[in-house]
Amino acid sequence: MDEAKASQVVRDASQILNGLDLFPFLTCGTLLGYHREGGFIDWDQDLDVGVFVPSDPSIVKDAFIKRGYKCVADLGANDCGKEYGFKKHGLQYKIDVFFYYYDKDRDLYWQSVWKGAGETEYSGPLAQMIKYNYFKFGLKEIEFYGCKMYVPDDVGKFIEMQYGPNWRIPDKNWGWWKSPFNLEKTDVIMPWKKLGWYFDTGEDV
């Protein structure tokens, strides 16, 4: 991963999301890189940030676009599995903004990812929502590449919930759609064309 370009994306996200008072926190592979590598994972291809879902998630989309980013993924619904992906010309990496929802009946937080329903990755006309479930957590402030970000208050426990007890051992075969220990398949299905998915070819935008 090009550290200079990736860190610029993180700094932009920090300014945008802190400016909206949304307390952006590192999650998924970006959190794992922070905690295990002390930076980014070398072979990672995107960046992951979470926020607790606001009443109107579109404020995030509007704010990134105003900063020159293109929205390349607009997934889910405001009250069910919302996720955005953004890229900016010259910065190479997509940043995914995951919204975290609180399930009061189960007393846990969850985020979503979307996968081709009953098919191989990205294939088929339909998409299935998959949940990653986490314990109820708070946040603590950190400095990450010179900017203000947050992480879950028990980082090790949070990471182990997703990556399992061997999270300290790098796994290049990890698949976000199959490998997480906290993965829960749902019966929420949407057509890809309504999800606004952008198939990233690796080219800049």
Q: Three-state SS string across 8-28, please?
A: HHHHHHHHHHHHCCCCCEECH
Determine what percent of the chain is predicted with pLDDT higher than 70.
90
Look at residue 201 in the predicted model and tell me its pLDDT: 38
Task: For residue range 37-60, list pLDDT tens digits in order.
Answer: 999 999 999 999 999 999 999 999
- To the question of pTM greater than 0.75 for the whole model, the response is yes
120 burial type by CB count under 10 A (0-12 exposed, 13-18 middle, 19+ buried): exposed
CA dihedral 11, 64, 186, 100 (to 10 degrees): 50
Give the gyration radius of the chain's Cα atoms: 16
Mean pLDDT is lowest, of 7-11, 24-28, 36-40, 173-177, for: 173-177
CATH number of 3-195: 3.30.460
User: Beta strand 126-135 with 80-87: parallel, antiparallel or unpaired?
Assistant: unpaired
Residue 153, SS3 per DSSP: coil
Report, as an integer, the average pLDDT of 10-37. Answer: 97
Task: Judge whether residue 197 has pLDDT over 80.
Answer: no
pLDDT over 80 at 124, yes or no: no
Residue type, 13: A
- Per-residue pLDDT, averaged over 197-201, amounts to 48
What mean pLDDT, rounded, does the chain reach? 90
- What does the pLDDT read at residue 202? 42
Please state the rounded mean pLDDT for residues 2-30.
97
Average pLDDT over residues 59-82: 93
Residue 194: which of 80, 48, 55 has the closest Cα?
80
Q: Span 177-184, mean pLDDT?
A: 95
By the 8 A CB rule, do 106 and 27 touch?
no
Q: Note the pLDDT of residue 71.
A: 93
- Span 87-91, average pLDDT: 94
Provide CB contacts within 8 A for 95, sequence distance 6+: 9, 10, 13, 46, 47, 48, 49, 85, 86, 87
